[in-house]
Amino acid sequence: MDEERRARIGNALQQYCVTVSHHNFNLLSTLVQMMEDESLPPNVSEKVASQLHVRELARYLQCAIPEFVKSPRNILDESLRAHLISLCSLDGVSSRLVNNELRKEYFDGVKARIAEEKVEVAEFPPKDLEQLFTLVSGVTGPGRYHF
What residue ranges do the domains of the chain occupy? Answer: 3-139
Q: What is the pLDDT of residue 143?
A: 66
Q: What is the pLDDT of residue 147?
A: 41
Tens-binned pLDDT, residue by residue, of the chain (147 aa): 899 999 999 999 999 999 999 999 999 999 999 999 999 989 999 999 999 999 999 998 888 998 889 999 999 999 999 999 988 889 999 888 888 898 899 999 999 999 999 999 999 999 999 899 889 888 887 765 544
Q: Helices (H), strands (E): how many in the chain?
A: 5, 2
Residues in contact with 70: Cβ distance below 8 Å, sequence separation at least 6, in sequence order: 50, 51, 54
- At CB < 8 A and 24+ separation, what contacts does 71-80 make? 72/31, 72/32, 72/35, 72/36, 73/32, 73/36, 75/28, 75/32, 76/25, 76/28, 76/29, 76/32
125 vs 147: CA distance, rounded Å: 27
- Bridge partners (DSSP) of residue 93 are 139
